[in-house]
Every structure is written in C-alpha cells, then in structure tokens.
A and B are shown apart, each in its own frame.
Chain A
C-alpha cells in the first residue's frame, strides 16, 4: 500500500498544502489590514483636525506705539475704577485710536491691521491700568483675522507684506489665545470663541439629562421588573426599539412640529433642544438600563423578598443600586451622543448668530456642534483653524465622557 503513503508525501500534496497555508496567511493579513486601515483613517482624521486646529488656540499680537492722550478717546481714568467701566470702554472710540497708532507705527497699509479682538484686549488693559490713558506706551494687541492668517503663512499678498514689514521691526509675537475659550461668536474671526456655544451645550445637556435619565430608568425598571407581558408592554417595547433606530433628523422635525409650532416654546433655546435630544436619548438609556437590570442575579431579589421586603423595596433598595453603574455607563454614552448631535438642533432653529452666552434655558443659544457647522460655512480663511480648534474642544469633551463611562464600567460594574 505504498500509494497511500505517497499520497501524503508526494509533491503535489505538499504544493496543495503550501497553497492552502499561503491562503490562510493572506486571509489573516487581509483581516489585519482591515483593522489597520480603519485605525489609519481614525489617526488621519484626528491628525488633520489637530494640525489644522492647533493654530486656533494661539494668535498673533503686534506691537504698536499707543498715544491715548493725543487720540480722540475721551475717557477719564478716575471713572474707569467704577463698576460700569466695561460699558464706558465699549462706548469709547478705541478702534480709531488703534488704527491711528497702527498707521503711525507701520504706515498706511496697517489701517486694518487690528479688529474686534484688538479693541477688546485694549479695553481690558485700560480697565486693569487706567493710567494708560495719560501716557504714550508700546502695547501688544492681537491682530485681525486676515493678518493673523498671513502671519501663520497662508494669507493674501497685502497682509503678507504688512506682516513682513512688522516682522522686520520685531513687532510680532505668537501668544496663547485665551479669548478662544472665554469669548462667544463674533463676525471677526480673530475675536471668536467657543464659550457661548459651550455654555449652550451644557444647558442643553442638563435639560436632556434631567428628562431622559429619570424617564429612561423608570421605563427600564417598569419593563424589566413589573410589566406583565401583554399587548401594551409589547407596544412599549416595539416603540423603544424602533425609536432607537429612527434617524436623528426626524426627532428634529418632531421638535419643530410639536415644541415650536404646537406648544409655542421659545425658538433656538436650550430648553427645546434639550427636550428634543431627551426624546432621542431616552431609548438608548432604556436599552442600556434593561441590560444592566437583567444582569442583576435573581437570587438577590429572592433573598430580599424572603425577608419580607415588598416588590417596590426589592427594586429600589437592591436591584436599582446594583444596576446603577451599568445604567450610568449607558447614560453617559447616550449623553455623549447627544452632545455631538447637530441635525435635530438645526431643525429647531439653533443656528442663529448669537454673540452673547445664554443666561438660562429659555434664552437663544447655540451648541458646540452647530457652532462648528456654522463656522465651517464661513468663507473667511481664518475660520478654518477656528473650526478645527472648536472640533478639538468638542472631541476632548467626548473623550472625557467616554473615558468616564469606561472608568465607571471597570471600577463599579460587577459580574456575577
């Protein structure tokens, strides 16, 4: 029976085996390549945003010879000590004084070297040190968006010339742009900031959380612990599973039709945004909550019932606390999604230009993702880095929330 041994040792078999092993290696490499490619996309995305956005956190300042006593700024140093100093400064013609000084320092081409951000910075300087009004001094002020882009090497010809002239006089420096984190939307790209949008996002998320969390948890408890299977609970289940997959823009249409047109709630307010997002996140919390409640072992319920607790006490004293870490993890992930949501908020009008941070949930506001969308539509070149910088801020918040969720899961979630 030598033929059978030959069958395993002859060349063609070896070749076949070799081919099959090669196919195996190829398949494995293909799988690895898929993962690597996906990660590469992610890295490319993050790298693009980071490299474009990092410039948004810094701005260019230029040095000018400011001579306020000789300008037409009529301000009394003594008055600037009072509480209404910001108003007085805002009313004074600081722009004129800055333009004068810029022209005096860098020539007539520098007439539009400074914008809103320069005026604002000078106003703050005056309040901090009113004696500036009485003497001439060199001051550093942030330049306008166009010049800022030119200084970063991507501007128009005119501005480039101005920048090289200023650099020749050693009159430019780059500093951290604190305004970007503390200011709100503005027409001049050098003066914009994310604080207003960030505050709008916080208010919206608080409304969302305040509604979606209790309703979601109570629904999950009802479905898992109390509901008997009947038509009604089936209907609830089907609607929840279905709502979890409804496109977010449909929730925006619902918000527009019900909250704005039917209930006449204020347009573009965090209240309406929060309500809309709450309806959207609630199913996510219910589904996460049900899974967490399901994983609490029945022996705990039996033990509590056995020593005389009522059904309600079992649920609220034992099941809910044990399921809470899981529920919270799901809730935070749902909240992170709500924080990054844009489309439904566009539907309910949160896309207006709003230059003051909202004071409450009924004030007109915008949220960070919508702010990003609005800036991305701007033609001005210097909005590119502002948009990317805002994206970095948004991503940092998302990362923090997801990190918190992972931490909670690892720290508190118990497996039985």
Chain B
C-alpha cells in the first residue's frame, strides 16, 4: 500500500517532467527565428521526459515488491516475538498470515492470539522496506526526469527517442508469450520431478490402479496411495476421444456440408452465428446441464435396456454433452477445409454429370480430408482438456471399463479433485496433480502440432 503511494509519486513526477519538457520545447520554438524548426514537436519532448521518469522507476517497483515481502518475512521471523511461534509449518504460516492481515487492517483480530503480538512487527517492517523501495523508485524517477530535461534542445531528436522506448515496449510485450510457455513447462516439470522422487515414473505411466487417498497417520491402513494413471487416461480418451467424437464428427461434418454446399447465403448467415452460440456457452453450464438433465435420462435409458449397473454419473452423459459442445468447432474446421477445395475440382465433377451429393462424397470430402482430420485432432485435444463437464457429470471412480453407462474419471477431474481438498502442498497427492497436468500438456501439445502440420501441408498442396 505504501508502494502504491510511491507509484503515485512516480506518476506525478512523470507528469510534471512531461509538462516542464513541453514548456521548454515550446519556448525554444518561439525563441528562434522564423523558418527554423524544432527537430521534434514539443509533445514528443514531453513524452520523452515522462517515459524516462516512469519506466525505469516502474521496473524498480516491480522487482522490489516481491523482494520486499521476503525481506519483511525475514525481519519479522528474526524479531524476539517470533521465537514463541510453534514449530509446525502450517500453524506458523497461518499465524503469520493473520498478523499480516491485522497489520494491513483487513481483519481486526486474529483467531490466534500470537498474531496480535506479531502484527506491529509486520507493520514496522512493512513501513521500513516500503519506504526504502519507494525512495529508490522515486530517485530513479527524478534521475530519469532530470536526464530527459537536460536533453531538451533545438536539435534533440526526441521523437526518435520516444520511438526507441515504444519499440522496447513492443518487444517486451512479445516476450510475455514465451515467458508464459516457459512458466507452464517449468512449473509443471519442477513439481512433477518432485512427484517422481516419491512415486516411480513407471508406476505412474503403466500402473492400472489409481487411489491417491493418503492416510493421515502412518499406521493407518491403506496409507500408501496408488498412482497408476492408466485408468485416468482411458477415461479421458473414452469420454473425449470416443463418445464425444461419435457425436461431434458426424453432426459437425454434416452441418458444415449443409451450410457450405446447400444452404442459401441468407440462411447460412443466420444459422452459423446461432450454431456458434453452442461454442460460446460456458462449460460450467454444460456441466450442470449434463449432471441435472442428461445424466438421469441416460441412467433411465440404461436401466430400460437392461443395464443394471447404470450409474447416475456416466461416461455417456458427459461424453454426449461434450460432443454437443464440440459440434461448432468441428463444423468450422470442416467449413474452412471444404472452402479451400478449388472450385475447378467441383465444377469438373458436376460437368461429368455427378449429382451434388456425389460430388461432395467422391470429390470434395476426399480432397478436404486432411483438413478435416486436422480439425478433428484439434477437437479431440480440446475435448480431453475440458474440465467442468467431466467434473460435474463423469464421476470420481477410476474404472477401466468400456461400458458407457458406468462412471469413469478423467485426468482433469483428478487434477481438480487433488488440488481442492485441504492438504499440505508437498504431499504426493498434490504433486500428482502437476504430473497429470504435465502429461495432459504434452498430449495436447503433440495433438496440436500434428493437426497444424497436417492442415498446413494440405493447404500448400492447393495454393
């Protein structure tokens, strides 16, 4: 909060520096003889000064704020009041958290009396380090402003300077994507390595039994926990790659064919956006729909055809609804690849006397097949990464069954399940979620890469 104050001060300095630079440059313009022109407009001088005042200072603040929280924690733990803290890491953290909340005025009193003693320490340390960080940032702002202001002159190329800064910002923005990818890979990899220290990779990859329940005490029965992920991947593939695709591929493909080949332009311009609503409905709504409406219907249907084990959480309900969600996706991918088939091929077939459907079946679809396959692969990758529908409708029991009326569980369901209970962060149970995440990330990555290569190669063939 004190850093917020520093931020305001920095912005104020920047505004003033910009204003001063503008006045100076404008005065230079008036002072010179007619015909002579400033190299840069006053407004560029103003931007130049403002940028020099803000950007370095902002960078310092951004680096400082995480450093500060570490320093504050250290200072508080080193204080005499902190010696009485219990040894248990969880209790320590909760007391420290409460003390911090009291110090920042979020809560009035903590659950634990010790937090009240520590709160003043937090306040003091916070104030001290925020003052240091704020002062450094402010100095940087003033220094930057001074530097820019001394540079205001008739020949100074302020516009080029501003453009250099903007270019820097553009390049910085483009690295965010790489940093995100790197962050995903590193955080998943790091936690997964810790998991594989506890559970062997072969057991994880090839084990067929999944029950991550760890006992609270070591002497409790069944305390080991089993982390064989095969049933999870089977469940994921069964719902996402088999049932959902049985629904989505024929419907999506036929929708695309009807919309591109048969429907009049006016009808198409109406139907397409309406169909896209299916893709825009939030997944939690689909999940609720699947659990509340579709699952009982599926169970009743299962019972009526004599499946006694029909469960109210079935692979079929989740897969059906997921398939419906994917329809517009398959449809628009198929749409693109059908549109990419050259008109000459279609005309040739029609000129030989083939009907429209024969042309579509014998000429257009075979030619568009690589694109369609690529689209289906992308759809599969989206379906297996889908979370809410399966969390709400597919169930938790890791079954290796091909019975669509039985409950199966998926990778995403287990990730949610493992990370939303109350447990320590270092247990094999929570770390398993990251190992599952890593596996999911690589599977979807590979599917996407294959799909994109297939689509691209095929596009080139017709260009």
Chain B nearest CB from A400 CB (Å) reads 12
A247→B357 CA distance, assembly (Å): 37
Complex partner residue of A243 from B177, B289, B292, CB under 8 angstroms: B177
Q: A35–B271 contact, CB under 8 A?
A: yes
Q: A28-B258, A45-B289, A257-B187 are in contact. Are A312 and B166 (CB under 8 A)?
A: yes
Q: B412–A239 contact, CB under 8 A?
A: no
Inter-chain pairs besides A31-B255, A258-B187, 5 sampled, C-beta below 8 Å? A28-B262, A219-B176, A246-B445, A369-B388, A376-B392
Which A residues touch B183, using CB under 8 A? Answer: 254, 258
Determine whether B114 belongs to the interface, using a CB cutoff of 8 Å to chain A.
no
Closest to B444 in A: A247
The interface residues of chain B, by DSSP majority, are classed as helix
How many residues does chain B have at the interface if contact means C-beta atoms less than 8 Å apart?
89
Q: List 14 A-B contacts (CB under 8 A).
A: A27-B361, A34-B251, A38-B275, A42-B275, A249-B385, A250-B441, A253-B187, A257-B190, A282-B180, A312-B167, A316-B166, A376-B292, A398-B280, A402-B277
Interface-located stretch among A16-24, A117-125, A129-137 = A16-24
Determine whether A139 belongs to the interface, using a CB cutoff of 8 Å to chain B.
no
How many residues does chain A have at the interface if contact means C-beta atoms less than 8 Å apart?
87
Q: A35–B416 contact, CB under 8 A?
A: no
A340→B163 CA distance, assembly (Å): 38
Q: A218-B169, A250-B184 are in contact. Are A34 and B280 (CB under 8 A)?
A: no
Determine whether B281 belongs to the interface, using a CB cutoff of 8 Å to chain A.
yes
Q: B282–A21 contact, CB under 8 A?
A: no
Interface positions of B from 337 to 362, Cβ below 8 Å from A? 355-358, 360-361
A39→B328 CA distance, assembly (Å): 11
Interface-located stretch among A61-69, A94-102, A165-173, A341-349 = A341-349
A310→B158 CA distance, assembly (Å): 13
Which B residues touch A32, using CB under 8 A? Answer: 258, 262
Which A residues touch B66, using CB under 8 A? Answer: 263-264
Interface positions of B from 257 to 290, Cβ below 8 Å from A? 257-259, 261-263, 271, 273-275, 277-278, 280-289
Determine whether A128 belongs to the interface, using a CB cutoff of 8 Å to chain B.
no
Q: B181–A253 contact, CB under 8 A?
A: no
Which B residues touch A256, using CB under 8 A? Answer: 419
Mark contacts of B383-408 with chain A using CB atoms, 8 A cut-off: 1 yes-contact digit, 0 otherwise.
01111100110000000000000000
Closest to A376 in B: B288
Chain A nearest CB from B304 CB (Å) reads 20
Complex partner residue of A342 from B253, B327, B388, CB under 8 angstroms: B388
Interface-located stretch among B12-20, B207-215, B367-375, B432-440 = B432-440
A31→B253 CA distance, assembly (Å): 9
Q: A38–B178 contact, CB under 8 A?
A: no
Chain A nearest CB from B392 CB (Å) reads 6
Determine whether B173 belongs to the interface, using a CB cutoff of 8 Å to chain A.
yes
Q: A39–B275 contact, CB under 8 A?
A: yes
Determine whether B381 belongs to the interface, using a CB cutoff of 8 Å to chain A.
yes
Closest to A215 in B: B173
Determine whether B250 belongs to the interface, using a CB cutoff of 8 Å to chain A.
yes
Q: A250–B385 contact, CB under 8 A?
A: yes
Determine whether A175 belongs to the interface, using a CB cutoff of 8 Å to chain B.
no
Q: A346–B420 contact, CB under 8 A?
A: yes
Determine whether A351 belongs to the interface, using a CB cutoff of 8 Å to chain B.
yes
Determine whether B191 belongs to the interface, using a CB cutoff of 8 Å to chain A.
yes
Which A residues touch B452, using CB under 8 A? Answer: 241
A346→B230 CA distance, assembly (Å): 25
Which B residues touch A42, using CB under 8 A? Answer: 274-275, 277-278
Complex partner residue of B184 from A24, A254, A372, CB under 8 angstroms: A254
Q: B434–A257 contact, CB under 8 A?
A: yes
Complex partner residue of A239 from B181, B250, B289, CB under 8 angstroms: B181
Q: B250–A346 contact, CB under 8 A?
A: no
